[in-house]
Amino acid sequence: MSITAFIIAAVIKIVITIVVLLTAVAYSVWLERKVVGRMQNRWGPTRVGPFGLLQPLADGIKFILKEDLTPPHVSRGLYILAPMLAVSMALTSIAIIPIGPNITIGGYTTPIQITGVTNAQGQSTDIGIGLLIILGITSIGVYGIALAGWSSNNKYSLLGALRASAQMVSYELALGLSLVGVLILAGTFSLREIVQQQQTQSWFGILPGWYIFPQFIAFFIYLMAAFAETNRIPFDLPEAETELVAGYHTEYSAMKFAMFFMAEYANMVTVGCLASVLFLGGWSGPVFGPPIVQSLLPVLWFGLRLFFFIFLYIWIRGTLPRFRYDQLMAFGWKFLLPLAIANIVITGLVVALRA
Amino acid sequence: MLHPILFFLFAALCVGGAINLLVQKHPINSALSLIVVMASLALIYLLLGAEFVAAVQVIVYAGAIMVLFVFVIMLLNAGAEERTAGSRIAAVLGIPALAVAIGLGLYVTLQHGITGDVALGSTPGYPHAVARPLFREFLLPFEVTSVLILIAIMGAVVLAKRSE
């Protein structure tokens, strides 16, 4: 397997993934406006194109053509760095996520994952520490928000940024610890191997071997920690319009604001992908048909799970009020963290007693 | 061929970040340079093949400890350093002295040849290889360290509590 073929395949995969991811981000904004509108008994966007489907295009054109003004009192370097950091971290973590098994095009076999390779025997492998890399990228993403608020030289932005970073750091703990239960059962950090193990096992012979069944508490904790990590309702106090003007992205306009917006929805997509891979069995589902359809059907099953998570995000946004800041922190530290640790203890006990 | 190039690139990034940390006047820029240093250290660990340690370095050092540093600098609203006469004299005297000391250390090290070669992947770095000794041979230091951290947390809570 030559290096040039690998590099060409990787570049093609990256281009396809970026196009699909940015389209998914744009259309999840459309979906949110439609679904939240319907929940609030109104239409949502309907004017631009059928069902308002060209609304993201119109929004994109607006963002590009709007005046991108930099207020005079900001710290220039950090002001420009912060949205770039936020959006690059949000888009990078999709590289580790496995979306499907091997696909063979023109005699070249490669797994449907940017960082995956197929060795000479046809086995597909990926990075041995995939999950840790995603957690690391999430940890660095906090800086985008903290620096945005700091560089804006504005008390509302600073307060919003401090609240957001404190919230994200607190819920990162619960997020990581909730995933330890799955790791104990799976025995590996590699995301592809976790999915493959879920495909080859089954609980009591009738349930599919997904980790949501033994780890439903961890799934619950993961969902809530993920809502807090991505700063979504009910945890979106850092962006609360009624309290902090617009929080950490008050002073940003046009393209830089669009970058923060994209980063938020890209984080939602990443968290949904991770939940599908770790708890819902990745791309497992019935495959049939000619070989090229067989390679692409798993992507469809993965996409259905991802769509379910994004719909869940939007559904909860339309339904729940937001937490007050002290309620939010108490919930993270006093409820989710002890529950996650208890889940680890019970999982470890069960695994140790069975072996 | 690629290995020395990558190593010198990451090492230059690390040293550049460290020098920038000393040179910057505003503490937030120094904190950000320290994050660059941590990240480049993680990359050097990756070059050695210690993938788990590199990931944990990013998650813990660059992603949690430095966030706390940045948080405190933002909360305390620490302003830029001022350059006084004393600090200028210290810079004029100190930087050549430091250069001489580093040169001396390098000369002694290279003369006696106590450097060695580490091959990529000579020590396995995947999580099992780190976890097995940690929980078998080094279990007592591991548990004692956790008690130590607990003592530190309790001390911080006691010191920061509002007196009633």
Structure tokens at A234: 């009910």
Nearest chain B Cα to A81, which residue? B32
Q: Determine the residue among B34, B35, B71, B149 to mutate to test chain A binding: the one whose Cβ has the most chain A Cβ atoms within 10 Å.
A: B71
**Cβ within 8 Å, pair A132-B67:** no
In a shared domain, residues B14 and B59: yes
Does residue A115 sit within a domain?
no
Does residue A14 sit within a domain?
no
In a shared domain, residues B16 and B91: yes
Q: What is the mean pLDDT of residues A87-95?
A: 90
Please give the model's pTM, rounded to 2 decimal places: 0.89
Q: What is the mean pLDDT of residues A159-179?
A: 90
Separation in Å, CA B65 to CA B32, B33, B60, B151? 12, 14, 6, 18
**Would you call A187 an interface residue with chain B, using a CB distance cutoff of 8 Å?**
no
Q: What is the model's pLDDT at position B164?
A: 66
**Cβ within 8 Å, pair A189-B127:** yes
**Number of folded domains in chain B?**
2
Q: Which residues of B touch A78 (CB under 8 A)?
A: 28, 32
Q: How far apart are the first and last CA of chain B?
A: 65
**Would you call A348 an interface residue with chain B, using a CB distance cutoff of 8 Å?**
no
How far is A230 from A267, CA to CA, in rounded Å?
6
Does residue A46 sit within a domain?
no
In a shared domain, residues B70 and B34: yes
Q: pLDDT at residue A341 above 90? A: yes
Q: Which domain holds residue A312?
A: 69-103+123-354
The neighbour count for residue A262, using CB atoms within 10 Å, is 21
Q: What is the model's pLDDT at position B121?
A: 66
Task: State ipTM.
Answer: 0.86
Q: pLDDT at residue A33 above 80? A: yes
CA distance A215 to chain B (A): 22
CATH of the domain at B92: 1.20.120.1200
Does residue A216 sit within a domain?
yes
Q: What is the mean pLDDT of residues A105-124?
A: 75
In a shared domain, residues B110 and B146: no
Q: Which domain holds residue B155?
A: 126-164
**Number of folded domains in chain A?**
1
Are the beta carbons of A93 and A138 closer than 8 angstroms? yes
Structure tokens at B14: 């690390």
